[in-house]
Structure 1
Amino acid sequence: MSNSNKFSLINPAKAPFFYGYVVLFIGSIGVLASIPGQTVGVSVFTDPVKDALGLSRNQFSNAYMIGTLLSAFFVAKAGVLFDAYGARYVAFFASFFLGVSLLLLSVSVEISEGLQSILSLNSFMVPFVVMTILFFFIRFCGQGVLTMASRNMIMIWFDKNRGKVNSISSITVSLGFSSSPIFINKLIDDHGWEMSWQILAVCLFIFSFLVIQLYRNRPEDFNLKPDGVHKKRRSIKTEKAESNFSLEQAKKTRAFWMFGLALAFNSFFITGFTFHVVSIFASQDYSKSQAIAVFLPISVIAITVSTLCNILSDYISHKIYLYIMLASGVLASLGLLFLSQTFGVYMLMAGLGIFGGLFAVVNAVTWPRFFGRKHLGAITGKVMSFLVIGSAVAPSLFSYCFTSLGSYRYISYVTLAFLLFLLIGSYKVKNPQ
């Protein structure tokens, strides 16, 4: 216990209430702290930063894609570190180095100009490489490691009430993510993009201190049990109920691949849509304000679905959720295909809302429910690499369909074919437990 509580003034074993509720609060804040490394947090900086560096939109987007793809290969390894050292240290280093990366991004122009002077090379490749490396760090630390560690920690502290507490966390995270572009845009307007990244970095340094003080790896480290049940009160039957799968064992199950690929598809479609949302709607003669307005109903649907399905997840089979996710993906794809029609807009919003709401449930609750808690980091780390790859390639593929084929609608044929494959493959999915 002393090692689990090292460097902290707070002992969960002496808390007057179940410490898991503190974990729920600080872990949800941890997911929100990853926003500077998420697409929603980076996209607001795109125009001012690329102009300052002298990069075109394609060059800036490609640097983002390459940095994100590189981070995908290391996220799975971070999951192994999570299993070995726990959420506390992994989240601390992730938040601290995300802050360091933001400080470096704030002086990326000076770094690029300094390297160009040293190398006597006046080429776009210098700022391109600088941004690729820095994008790798913020995507790895933010979207990958900090998100995974924070979400997994919450799931480890709860079992029977896992769905209910995840509904609370999901609402907090959804509201935070949906409002973050407005907050960051205001920050940039008031202080400039350089100072904005520096302010966010200071916030992350403060949060990294809170991680050491409040994050805790497992309730068992303090003679506690998930959901607050004391060790002596947990029956022998319940103790033996959970089987813990290693990553290699999980990869041999159909459930791992079907759920993992369904989540990756969600990451792909939503990232591609969000990245090009104004252009997608402009191609069908919609205004920018009309394009941005779709996010409000999508968020309302997502929060409603997430809350309801998180609560029900403690009682019903998650295979039902997999089918609903795939059906909503079909709905969103058809909506994009028929976006020129009014009903297509509604189909797109409904599909994205349902898919996004279920994503929050499945990506948090399903993995410990199906494969146990012991190797949760390795398993979710591998799944996170699927998500990162999907989010990396989506903007370029969506852009290719538009620039080469003249319409975004053609991406729907690809997504519908992939969803058909997943629907067929999911027929025999079952809970490995």
Structure 2
Amino acid sequence: MRFESRGAGVPFHPRRFSFFYGWIILSLSSLGMLMSIPGQTMGVSVFTDHLMEALSLSRVNLSLAYLLGTVGSALILAQAGKLLDRVGARLMGTVVVLLLGLTLFGVSAVDGIRSFIFRIFPFAGDVFIGFLLISGGFFFMRFLGQGVLTLLSRNMAMKWFDRRRGLANAVIGIVVSFGFSAAPMLLHSLIEDFGWRGAMRVMGMVLLFGFSGVFLLFARDNPFICGLRPDGSPAPADDADDSDPSTRTGPDYTLPEARRTLTFWVYAMSLVLFSLVITAVTFHIISIFDEAGMGAEKAVSIFLPAALISLVFNVGASWASDRMPLKIFLFMLLAGLLIELVAVALLKDGLFFFLMILGHGISGGIMNLLSTVTWPRFFGIRHLGSISGFAMGMTVAGSAAGPYLFSLSLSLFGSYSPICWGSGILGMLILGLAFIAKPPVREREVL
């Protein structure tokens, strides 16, 4: 973080503000999460039919391209996290926002680029060229948006708060919940007004000429490089090392050290299982309800009440996490997942329908807390980028594998029940390991 510490006072120094600068960082981090929408599933899904038509691709081929792009981004997220630790959020975030904006301009012209390449290499076939191009487009959208921008936005906020980390996560959760819920409708309106290409270019311009400048102006990786302390605590003595996060309570783990703990794998695999199950259920929701003898209208009706439950649990758990061990919330996450898996396997109208909504909402609310707060609470902030990047790469890979595994269960067994029971057994195994996993010394000292 040495590079960023030299420019912490340019063009203004955070110490000059009459209030704690972390609140500005929290607002910027929340906005960064919203700016990642073009790379999130709900952002991409609005454009899928238009991309299929423009590139003459089937839904299966476009889904495969999305899968390849997502898995590819997951494989290098850990390396991106290590780079984040070295250069800091300000420089890396500005570059990522610019690259994401350029990517959207590129994807908006993907059919024209395909035609140009096809004239040079006609033997390759226009459909195959289009498939390769959109696979590359999905890779950059997922890696830059859903991956790196999300990663650094979360990490930056968590570094500026310690004892109020749960409160900070609750604020981000509320903004993300409402922002992500409204995104499909807003993007649909943009497409109606400007066409799908124009909508992507509008988003690209917002990133290139708007948010990149805002991020460069206001972002600071952590309070230590600014001579401040998390939560707005009193500034250190003059002879203290302002730039050294290790002056905080507890040791700072490296990624190899974190991976040698059972706690890391218990929490990481819980998040992977969540991502696998929730993404798969969302992706196949119509088919799941068809198998249970219920229609599409009933299927999509689960999302609004589940979102409200998720919001309540996210805010409540985030507030309580500043005062309670995280293992309690891990048990809640796994319980919510197990409830949903049983409900999907035995789905019918009535009790199991409501249990599915309940499990979906509980696990979704707790996941947002654990994916953000766990790594700085347990392992410190010095190597937060590499640790959270590695964990997030696993989570993204799980989200890519989930829909395929669920479709494989339906294809081989004619039902989603086998994959639900198999996932439930894995969840029970993780739950058993959670009982014996001891939290690192850092959490015990913080609490």
Relative to the length of structure 1, the TM-score reads 0.95
| TM superposition shift of 1:239 | 4.6
CA–CA distance in 2 between the matches of 1:366 and 1:274?
A: 25
Q: Which residue pairs with 1:427 in the alignment? A: 435
Instruction: After superposing the two structures, state which structure 1 stretch, 119-128 or 258-267, moved more.
Output: 119-128
Is the Cα contact below 8 Å between 2:409 and 2:418 reproduced in 1? yes
Contact 2:100 2:204 in 1 (8 A): yes
Residue 114 of structure 1 corresponds to 116
**Residue 83 (structure 2) pairs with residue 81 (structure 1):** yes
Instruction: For 1:4 and 1:345, locate their aligned partners in 2 and report how far apart those are by CA, in whole Å.
Output: 54
264-273 vs 72-81, which moves further: 264-273
Q: Does 1:4 align with 2:7?
A: yes
Counterpart residue identity of residue 220, structure 1: F
CA RMSD of aligned residues (A): 1.8
Query: Does the aligned pair in 1 maintain the 2:72–2:139 contact within 8 Å?
Result: yes
Give the Cα separation in 1 of the matches to 2:192 and 2:268.
39
Q: Within 5 A, what are the aligned runs for 1:22-101?
A: 22-101=24-103
Q: For residue 304 of structure 2, what is the aligned residue in structure 1?
A: 296
Correspondence for 1:241: 249
- Structure-2 change in CA distance of 1:134 and 1:240 (3 Å): closer
Match of 1:268 in 2: 276
Shift of 1:398: 2.2
Amino acid in the other structure paired with 1:86: G
What are the Cα deviations for residues 107-141 of structure 1, in whole angstroms up to 9, with x where unaligned? 11111122222111335221111111111111110
Provide closer, same or farther for how the CA distance between residues 315 and 60 of structure 1 changes in structure 2, counting only shifts above 3 A.
Answer: same
Q: Which residue of 1 aligns with 2:190?
A: 187
Instruction: Specify the alignment match of 2:145 in structure 1.
Output: 142
- Match 1:379 to one of 380, 387, 406: 387
* Deviation, structure 1 residue 240: 5.5
Name the SS of the counterpart of 1:79 in structure 2: helix
Match of 2:445 in 1: none
Q: What secondary structure does 2:76 align onto?
A: helix
Q: Contact between 2:98 and 2:207, CA under 8 Å: does it hold in 1?
A: yes
Task: Tell me by how many angstroms 1:291 deviates.
Answer: 2.2
State which of 212, 224, 232 in structure 1 corresponds to 2:236.
Answer: 232
Identity %: 36
Q: Distance in 2 between matches of 1:160 and 1:359?
A: 20
Deviation at 1:155, TM superposition (A): 0.3
Q: Which moved more, 1:177-186 or 1:349-358?
A: 177-186
* Partner residue, 2:226: 222
SS at match of 1:305: helix
Q: CA contact under 8 A between 1:4 and 1:216: conserved in structure 2?
A: no
1:348 to 343, 352, 356: 356
Q: How far has the Cα of 1:292 moved from its partner?
A: 2.1
Structure 1 partner of 2:369 = 361
DSSP 3-state at the match of 2:154: helix
Which residue type is aligned with residue 100 of structure 1? L
Are residues 1:392 and 2:392 paired?
A: no
Please give the alpha-carbon distance, in whole angstroms, between the structure 2 residues aligned to 1:63 and 1:287.
29
**AA matched with 1:346:** F
C-alpha contact 2:115 2:126 (8 A) present in aligned 1: no
Offset of residue 2 of structure 1:
6.9
| Match of residue 416 from structure 1 | 424
Flag the 1:367–1:335 CA change in 2: closer, same or farther, 3 A.
same
Note the C-alpha offset of 1:265.
1.2
Q: What are the within-5 Å matches in structure 2 for residues 150-189 of structure 1?
A: 150-189=153-192
Displacement of 1:19 after TM fit?
0.3
Given that residues 114 and 126 in structure 2 are in contact (C-alpha distance below 8 angstroms), is that contact kept between their aligned partners in structure 1? no
